[in-house]
Amino acid sequence: MLRVIDTETCGLQGGVVEVASVDVINGQIVNPMSDLICPDRPISRQAMAVHRITEAMVADKPTIEEAIGRYHGSPHYVAHNASFDRRMLPTMPGEWICTMTLARQLWPGIKYGNQALRHSLKLDVTPPAELHAHRALYDCYVTAALLIRIMETSGWNAEQMANLCQPAPVSGDVFPFGKYRGQSIGSIARKDPGYLRWVLENVRDLRPPLRQALRKYVKSDQ
């Protein structure tokens, strides 16, 4: 079982207002759960405009510490941009898998937002009709469909995906996606520097350590 989890928050700094999950079992999306959460801070106007969850909707709801227990029980938790949700939630007893990280490795050079991937990959998913994008359960369905496509395309199992989502070495010297995935950036720079320049110029969602490493090698090649 893989448990896909998502949070909506008061803003980028935290304060959970909604948590939701679905399970992926044998390629099927099952067991939807969701809870509105009373946050530990005011909801920012910017966040409210995105998820449309108001202060009145969460005033009498449980805290995230009170609600999170029923989301435990999976050996793996899956999220899109998992570092964000992992930071927002209390400690979850399991390994984390990030569909954004995996999508970058499988489909370089495209947009990696949840909805962008849903449309570019033509994912077959029907979230609950009463919800909308950026509600936690709605986004869980989209992430689950993306996870299923990733597994179908790559053949990776849960352990392999978790390993691929481990933080990159501090040096940033291992290329994480595309035709040179797993090779050192130094060796790529020696045999195909034009590819590194192309990645720098065309892939917008590079992690800062990787972008810095690429710039170092591309600059040294010039």
- pLDDT tens digits, one per residue of 48-81: 999 999 999 999 999 999 999 999 999 999 999 9
Half-sphere exposure of 147 (CA within 13 A, CB side): 34
Q: Structure tokens of 134?
A: 């950026």
CA dihedral 131, 135, 136, 139 (to 10 degrees): 80
Residue spans of the domains in the chain: they are: 2-164, 178-221
Backbone angles phi, psi at 130, to 5 degrees: -80, -5
Residue ranges of the chain whose pLDDT lies below 50: 169-170, 222
Cα(54)–Cα(57) distance, integer angstroms: 5
Q: Structure tokens of 174?
A: 């291992």
What's the CATH fold of domain 2-164? Answer: Nucleotidyltransferase; domain 5 (3.30.420)
Residue from 41, 46, 51, 42 nearest 6 by CA: 51
